[in-house]
């Protein structure tokens, strides 16, 4: 069969792109090397609880276009992310706000909190922050940094905070009100029924082949000779360096190991969906209790401990490590990609970008719109 697009990767980027192109009358075939659709937003029902199999995904956006778009595919609940962080015997509210400062220093007013932070920062004499450590210190001072940032960040990224880019920490808000809402976006929630349903709906009417890698698919297709399927274009949402057979060397990624546990007879393990463990000695960064994303009342619970690990070939890549060295290497791959007429690269891995879900959707919509113009 002749298709307009072969889409490699049935994750959010690939699925949104496929759905949009289908609306424009284009034909797509989607393949994925995993045995299921939905990539890393895959959720699965375990004991009546939607479990985020590849780490917690909380939908949040400031982009009305994206919010309106995703509403067509799911109804969202009113979940608001308010993680807590455990350091030693103490528990702190996240993100950094008046509750956190009150617990740390006993301060009660914003003026007292600001004065405390200013006093701590003044001693440091940091100019323009050059790395994550300097950025964090100049924002919140050494107390917060030592308890809530340094350990978590160094185990999450496997690198010293001095060797990490400052932008990572800018994801974390700092505010002087008693507000534990992690995100500042006006739209937030968890899709009722799970994320996999969204991707199922996006891919409705589009053929999908699972459990096959791009290379194996190409080989098998070629072997069909005259019967082979043909594609005008390919959208590749896997790792861009892998696509080019690592010709300039490997990009770095962080991977994760998930330890999932069904605890029968326990209806509430930790009282919150997300509990961060910010001490360096605790090997995991957080424990997720999935039922709290959906206000679940089941008699049992499912928790997942998240252990960050360095990525090596064969592992699942979760986070691009967007430091200077990797970004420069990515730029070389991107240049190579720009020279390929019939191949598009999209998503966290195809574009080597620390994208959130809303940014993935926006980028996929933009790419689909650009394709329609040129097609």
Which span sits near ligand UDP by CB under 6 A: 32-40, 119-127, 149-157, 217-225? 149-157
3-state secondary structure 226-270: HHCCEEEEEEECCCHHHHCCCCCCCCCEEEEEEEEEEECCCCCCC
- Alpha-carbon gap, residue 331 to 325, rounded angstroms: 10
Which span sits near ligand UDP by CB under 6 A: 26-34, 116-124, 164-172, 287-295? 164-172
Select from 100, 196, 237, 276 the one that contacts ligand UDP (CB under 6 A): 276
Select from 16, 21, 104, 169 the one that contacts ligand UDP (CB under 6 A): 169
Per the CB < 8 A criterion, the answer to whether 286 and 275 are in contact is yes
34 catalytic per annotation? no
Select from 172, 212, 266, 343 the one that contacts ligand UDP (CB under 6 A): 172
Please state whether the peptide bond connecting residue 33 to the residue before it is cis, i.e. omega within 30 degrees of 0: no
Select from 61, 100, 138, 156 the one that contacts ligand UDP (CB under 6 A): 156
254 catalytic per annotation? yes
Which span sits near ligand UDP by CB under 6 A: 71-79, 152-160, 188-196, 236-244? 152-160
Q: How many residues at the interface with ligand UDP, by CB under 6 A?
A: 13
- Binding-site string for ligand UDP from residue 65 to residue 94, where x marks contact by CB under 6 A and - marks none: --------------------x--------x
Nearest-approach distance from CB 134 to ligand UDP, in angstroms: 14
Task: Give me the phi and psi of 257, to 5 degrees please.
Answer: -115, 130
The verdict on 288 binding ligand UDP (CB under 6 A) reads: no
- Binding-site string for ligand UDP from residue 219 to residue 258, where x marks contact by CB under 6 A and - marks none: ----------------------------------------
The verdict on 168 binding ligand UDP (CB under 6 A) reads: yes
286 catalytic per annotation? yes
Burial of 346 (0-12, 13-18, 19+ CB in 10 A): buried
Select from 82, 138, 153, 326 the one that contacts ligand UDP (CB under 6 A): 153
310 catalytic per annotation? no
Per the CB < 8 A criterion, the answer to whether 135 and 129 are in contact is yes
By beta-carbon proximity to ligand UDP, the closer residue of 85 and 337 is 85
The verdict on 144 binding ligand UDP (CB under 6 A) reads: no
The verdict on 149 binding ligand UDP (CB under 6 A) reads: yes
- Which of 20, 32, 133, 356 is catalytic? The answer is 356
185 catalytic per annotation? no
By beta-carbon proximity to ligand UDP, the closer residue of 4 and 279 is 279
The verdict on 162 binding ligand UDP (CB under 6 A) reads: no
Chain contacts with ligand UDP (rule: CB under 6 A): 85, 94, 148-149, 152-153, 156, 168-169, 171-172, 276, 278
Residues with active-site annotation: 171, 175, 254, 286, 306, 354, 356
């Amino acid at each position: 069969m002749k298709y307009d697009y072969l889409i490699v990767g049935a994750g959010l980027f690939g699925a949104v792109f496929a759905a949009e192109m289908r609306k424009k009358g284009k034909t797509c075939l989607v393949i994925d090397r995993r045995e299921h659709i939905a990539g890393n937003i895959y959720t699965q029902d375990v004991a009546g609880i939607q479990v985020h199999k590849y780490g917690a995904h909380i939908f949040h956006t400031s982009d009305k276009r994206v919010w309106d778009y995703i509403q067509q595919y799911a109804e969202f609940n009113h979940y608001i992310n308010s993680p807590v962080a455990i350091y030693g015997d103490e528990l702190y509210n996240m993100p950094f706000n008046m509750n956190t400062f009150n617990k740390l220093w006993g301060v009660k007013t914003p003026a007292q909190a600001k004065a405390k932070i200013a006093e701590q920062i003044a001693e440091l004499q940091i100019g323009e922050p050059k790395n994550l450590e300097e950025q964090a210190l100049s924002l919140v001072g050494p107390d917060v940094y030592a308890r809530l940032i340094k350990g978590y960040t160094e185990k999450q990224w496997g690198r010293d905070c001095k060797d990490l880019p400052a932008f990572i920490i800018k994801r974390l808000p700092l505010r002087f009100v008693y507000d534990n809402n992690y995100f500042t976006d006006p739209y937030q929630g968890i899709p009722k029924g799970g994320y996999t349903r969204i991707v199922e709906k996006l891919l409705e009417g589009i053929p999908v082949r699972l459990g096959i890698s791009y290379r194996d698919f190409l080989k098998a297709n070629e072997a069909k000779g005259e019967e082979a399927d043909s594609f005008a274009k390919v959208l590749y949402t896997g790792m861009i360096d892998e696509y080019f057979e690592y010709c300039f060397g490997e990009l770095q990624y962080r991977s994760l190991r998930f330890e999932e546990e069904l605890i029968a007879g326990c209806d509430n393990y930790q009282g919150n969906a997300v509990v961060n463990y910010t001490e360096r000695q605790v090997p995991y960064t957080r424990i997720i209790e999935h039922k709290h994303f959906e206000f679940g009342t089941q008699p049992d619970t499912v928790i997942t401990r998240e252990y960050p690990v360095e990525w090596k070939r064969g592992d699942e890549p979760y986070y691009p490590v967007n430091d200077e060295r990797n970004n420069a290497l990515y730029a070389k791959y991107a240049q190579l990609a720009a020279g390929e007429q019939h191949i598009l690269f999209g998503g966290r891995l195809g574009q080597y970008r620390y994208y959130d879900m809303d940014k993935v959707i926006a980028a996929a919509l933009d790419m689909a719109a650009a394709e329609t113009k040129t097609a």
